[in-house]
Structure 1
């Protein structure tokens, strides 16, 4: 089990620097450069999901619509990191809590500070849902407080766990397929191709879920 989970460790290092984390920056080279007078097809394909995300986030964040740029950037960063991790011998940065907590904790802290400083009464009212019986108010305050505190943990663990689970399944199937017969190896190859398609969908969906939930948390404090 130690060797199995060691595939997620950034083992390559130069001058005590974990060079595998450079894959976060390498993924940025996939972004199209808008240096041309006429947009090519690659730029148009990349622009379409960004416009879709912008329209959805604008419906969630009715105030401060310019802040959707931050969540779209998060979506692009996480999606590119997830997709880069599907290539062989490339480190998956989003499978580590160091990466996911680095994204979630500053967001959550900024939302909480903004809400409690500027909208204190509204933040207190969120602790007690409408229609709560008086006997359950103190209990509901505890539940809502705990749910607010664990939000960055749930966001980061959801992203990291989904990335680790898919990679572990692909690794286990790849290690066991070498000892199989030819017919079973063909079946295993088809299964791995289907799992790879599923992992591509999971990489996109998890980045979408991360960006949408972050936008929802931001809309609550406004």
Structure 2
């Protein structure tokens, strides 16, 4: 009997093509979520800042007393701070939108700019809170005292407490997203995903 192997029998030699580098699971859901948040908050922030810039430039309000505008017109320190904050805010709002688009494409550059935006946002939130405590809130209290002179003392105290509570809540909200960004995009697994995506491209 012949011991020659059958020509139809599978061989042990591998003739498979070399593997093509690709992402195993595609874009992580978290990256997609943060990309959408960047697009939404970046776009809304840009529109809000442009509207505020127009208000400060023209001095036109919606008919209501505006302590921030009054302070902008009378206090040079607060005026310089507001102008610098708006310029940086507009720039980083654009960065946020562009980075959001880049995150959808798993761009490593977008990941880095997203982290830069997060660091800026934390610093800006802390400085803005300090400026509000030092300049804006005293002006608002003075304006409030004039407007509600005949209001019972308890109501005035409640309004003042609400003002400070709003500042604390606003700061927590302002810090939440950038803090989450720093945590998420510095994770080793996410860095590896972006590295793999850019290796493919």
Report the TM-score when normalising by structure 2: 0.39
Q: Say which one has the larger Rg.
A: 2
TM-score by length of 1: 0.36
